Chain A
Amino acid sequence: MKNRLLTLVFTLAATGVTTLFLASCSKTAAGGITPQKMTDAIHAVLESDRTVYTRNVVNRLQNDEKVIKASEHWKDDKALPLPAQMFRMGAEMVQAKNAGFTYSLLSKWPVNQQNKAKTDAEKAGLDFVDTKKGAENYYAEETLGGKKYFTAVYADTAIAPACVKCHNEHKDTPRTDFKLGDVMGGVVIRIPLE
């Protein structure tokens, strides 16, 4: 009887300590970094990686040194994936890992219509970064599927001639007058708040 009582007390105590510990961890995490700071940091990595891939891999090897082509059908054509495809493949991989955030590359003039804005925050965000010509980012909170999200939209700018050429000439493009430096779309990053 005494042993049973001791076991019960010990179990309750352990549960309480664990709960307090987890709660304190959660507070530290929430207090340590804001969602905006987090999305800004994620975007800095995403943008840098894609710029490196676009300039130092695709543009260098395809346009400057003419070693290999980049193609939308990179597997069939034994070519490099396009920078936007590289970006999307990473986004899918991150989502499959359930990493605690999601990101996507959207546009008001998407080659694939599935990549146009769907939610109100996406629509407002793409308009905002386009109007501000990428000088400011867009931040909002939105509820999707009953879940609250912090949503950030960053301008996606044409950084290489290849971006402009490909989008202007693609048979599915709804816009054909992009110029170098134009805002072509936006990177949307979401973090669940609950």
Chain B
Amino acid sequence: MRRWKTWLLFGALVWVGGGTLTYFFGYADDRRFFIPGPTTHGHYQIELKCDACHTPMMGVKTDACNTCHAAELAAVNDTHPRTKFTDPRNAELRTRLDADECVACHREHRPDHTHAMGVSQPEDLCFHCHQEIGKERPSHAGLGFKTCATAGCHNFHDNTALYEDFIAKHTGEPDTRERAARLIRVAASLAPGAKPLTGADRVVPAGIVADQQLIYEWEQSAHARAGVNCAECHQAGDTNKPWIAQPSETSCARCHDHAVQGFLGSRHGMRLAAGLSALTPTDARLPMRADAAHRTMTCNACHGTHRYDTRTAAVDACLRCHDDRHSRAYVGSPHQLTWLAELAGDAAPGTGVSCATCHLPRELHRVGGHDVVRVQHNQNANLRPNEKMIRTACLDCHGYGFVLDALADRALIAANFQGRPGRHLDTVEMVVRRLVSEASRQTTKENQP
């Protein structure tokens, strides 16, 4: 009798346990119970979307990292691609640093072992493969391996602004250039046969009534000036299709694919990309304004629903939500003064520095043999390590040495660059010394009989 009861109890427990697991893994949205530890700043937004990174049995998907990061790494000519570690000739090195998978250095859910950039390896990991650097480069003798990536000299993946010949091209530059060299966006051009539109030209299906204010905002927009009528966004470009009252980023992507892809790859859009609800400021780990709690991060959050004023999106939209020290200090900063001067028409176009100037920089793309200026909507593409920002933003207005010093000064960054860098890095001087020494070696060689 007792045995029968035990089996019944066991069966009930299995049934309840199995059902609970099935529910949480298969149907429930709230999976916080299963998170083994806090997630890094790069992934916490999608931590409840377990299958974005994990297999059903909670292993790590082979391509989980590449899905979001491969294109970015390829674009910067990753200095340490996976192939470096899978090469059999490096088998011996792999016994010390088995970095053939991203998770070898970027273990998630382990905050006690994780430091800057989500790296879960000790900070002196460069030692494993580069312990001879002091002999190979006398200038590096005695330098600590913890300083490789923390002294404005090297990054593990992206060294596009840190390689020696690039620095050599930028020696002797002034702190601030006389004239900013920022890319200028070209106004949207009319499609063949199209003409600028006014409220009288708008075409909407019968029964759709629009607010006069919205019509006015659209009339003032680049869309109306470029001949983009209501159907382009609200009916996927076809007046025979059903009316979409609130177009999503999918509608925007019909014409602005690059911008939308950038947005979906960013902190702002990564939840949408993972199939989750849009980010709200209450989800953020950075300080946000309490009165912004109701906002949702879609294209319209920054661009508005009909005005699409890029100047608003460049500063005001950011400060509607962001409430950290760096953001608040923008007001009154030297950067803001240049922006206000440009808006007032007192300075040339492209000389003002908005939030977007640095965080959503303009990029020059070569498309079909033509130069096209686009805005990078993935603000993380040049955010961390902050040396990524050197090429895409800082050098437009400042000299290389000044930029390195400023980006290494955390207090100055928090104060939104109100002041001067507190210390000077020796990076540029090291390169200059090496160039001088090399020139001397070449001269000696040429003078030899």
Interface residues of A (CB under 8 A from B): 72-73, 75-76, 92, 95-96, 102, 104, 113-114, 118-119, 122, 144-145, 147, 149, 169, 171, 176, 188, 190, 192
CB distance from B174 to the nearest CB of A (A): 22
CB distance from A91 to the nearest CB of B (A): 8
Q: Is the CB of A147 within 8 A of B165?
A: no
CB distance from A41 to the nearest CB of B (A): 20
Given contacts A95-B83, A95-B86, whether A113 and B132 have CB atoms under 8 Å apart is: yes
Bound-complex Cα distance A169 to B83 (A): 29
Contact residues in B for A171 (Cβ distance below 8 Å): 434-435, 438
B91 at the A interface (CB under 8 A): yes
Q: Chain B: which residue is nearest A92 at the CB level?
A: B83
Q: Chain B: which residue is nearest A106 at the CB level?
A: B89
B320 at the A interface (CB under 8 A): no
Q: Is the CB of A147 within 8 A of B91?
A: yes
Bound-complex Cα distance A47 to B197 (A): 61
B77 at the A interface (CB under 8 A): yes
Bound-complex Cα distance A119 to B93 (A): 11
CB distance from B224 to the nearest CB of A (A): 38
CB distance from B398 to the nearest CB of A (A): 19
Bound-complex Cα distance A94 to B91 (A): 18
B43 at the A interface (CB under 8 A): no
Contact residues in A for B163 (Cβ distance below 8 Å): 73
Contact residues of B between 410 and 448, Cβ < 8 Å to A: 434-435, 438, 442, 445
Bound-complex Cα distance A147 to B90 (A): 12
Given contacts A73-B165, A113-B136, A176-B445, whether A145 and B438 have CB atoms under 8 Å apart is: no
Show 29 A/B contacts (Cβ-Cβ < 8 Å), sorted by A. Answer: A72-B165, A73-B163, A73-B165, A75-B77, A76-B166, A95-B83, A95-B86, A95-B87, A96-B81, A96-B82, A102-B87, A102-B89, A104-B87, A114-B129, A118-B90, A119-B89, A122-B89, A144-B88, A145-B88, A145-B91, A145-B94, A147-B88, A147-B91, A171-B435, A171-B438, A176-B445, A188-B89, A190-B89, A192-B88
Contact residues in A for B94 (Cβ distance below 8 Å): 145
Number of A-B contacts (CB under 8 A): 49
| A92, A102, A171, A190: residue with the most chain B Cβ atoms closer than 10 Å | A171
Q: Is the CB of A144 within 8 A of B89?
A: yes
CB distance from B138 to the nearest CB of A (A): 13
- Could you tell me how many residues of chain B have their Cβ less than 8 Å away from some Cβ of chain A? 24
Bound-complex Cα distance A114 to B83 (A): 14
Contact residues in A for B435 (Cβ distance below 8 Å): 171
Chain B window 157-173, contacts with chain A (Cβ cutoff 8 Å), 1 for yes, 0 for no? 00000010110000000
Contact residues in B for A144 (Cβ distance below 8 Å): 88-89, 91-92
Contact residues in A for B129 (Cβ distance below 8 Å): 114
Ranked nearest first, the 9 interchain pairs of A and B with the lowest CB-CB distance are A145-B91, A144-B91, A95-B83, A171-B438, A144-B88, A92-B83, A113-B136, A118-B89, A96-B83
Bound-complex Cα distance A145 to B83 (A): 15
Contact residues in B for A72 (Cβ distance below 8 Å): 165
CB distance from A189 to the nearest CB of B (A): 11
CB distance from A174 to the nearest CB of B (A): 9
Bound-complex Cα distance A147 to B445 (A): 46
Q: Is the CB of B434 within 8 A of A104?
A: no
Q: Chain A: which residue is nearest B437 at the CB level?
A: A171
Bound-complex Cα distance A138 to B445 (A): 35
Q: Is the CB of A149 within 8 A of B88?
A: yes
CB distance from A99 to the nearest CB of B (A): 12
Name 8 extra pairs, CB < 8 A, besides A73-B166, A92-B81, A145-B88: A72-B165, A75-B77, A96-B82, A114-B129, A118-B89, A147-B88, A147-B91, A171-B434
| A102, A104, A145: residue with the most chain B Cβ atoms closer than 10 Å | A145
Bound-complex Cα distance A20 to B249 (A): 55
Bound-complex Cα distance A114 to B442 (A): 24
Q: Is the CB of B81 within 8 A of A190?
A: no
Chain B window 81-112, contacts with chain A (Cβ cutoff 8 Å), 1 for yes, 0 for no? 11100111111101100000000000000000
Q: Chain B: which residue is nearest A190 at the CB level?
A: B88
Q: Chain B: which residue is nearest A142 at the CB level?
A: B88
Contact residues of B between 137 and 175, Cβ < 8 Å to A: 163, 165-166
Contact residues in B for A192 (Cβ distance below 8 Å): 88
| B81, B91, B129, B136: residue with the most chain A Cβ atoms closer than 10 Å | B91
Q: Which single member of A145, A169, A176 contacts B92 (CB below 8 Å)?
A: A145
Bound-complex Cα distance A76 to B165 (A): 11
Contact residues in B for A169 (Cβ distance below 8 Å): 442
CB distance from A166 to the nearest CB of B (A): 14
Bound-complex Cα distance A169 to B94 (A): 34
